[in-house]
Amino acid sequence: MEYTITYSPDFDQTRQDMGYDVHDDYDNNAVLYQQGYNMRNFTIEAGETFKIKREQSRATFQCDGTRIRLFAVHPMFDEIEDEDNISLEPGKYILHLDGKSIERLDVEDDDFY
């Protein structure tokens, strides 16, 4: 079974790519439109690892009708989310063979403080 990951660029990065500074007068809707235009969908299969790059800022993992669990590899945390669509931060992940759980592989202690 294939699963869809939608990569979305960061708002600030999109604004900068359009040539606007944070203090410039710009149209938020134009930046949001461009951000949506720059979204990309990728498919992965169970057992596959994938990476979300910093410039992509976030990704949404979609699995219609199946609840997905996101796990962090850190002793302070167990399940982070249990939804049918979840948001992922930049990092390296694996979709486990069960097709129902995602584990972040590159969590550092500094990520939580």
- pLDDT digits over 31-44, tens only? 999 988 988 888 88
Residues 6+ apart with CB under 8 A from 84: 62, 63, 64, 65, 66, 67, 68
Q: Total domain count for the chain?
A: 1
Tokens 């584990």, located at residue: 103
In the DSSP assignment, the letter for residue 11 is H
Q: Which pLDDT does position 47 carry in this prediction?
A: 92
- 8 A C-beta contact, residue 46 and residue 97: yes
Structure tokens at 58: 């976030």
Structural domain harbouring 98: 2-112
Count of other CB atoms within 10 angstroms of residue 51: 12
- 8 A C-beta contact, residue 26 and residue 60: no
* pTM, to two decimals: 0.67
Q: For 46-105, write each residue's pLDDT tens digit.
A: 899 988 877 656 777 766 656 666 665 444 445 555 556 677 788 888 888 887 788 888
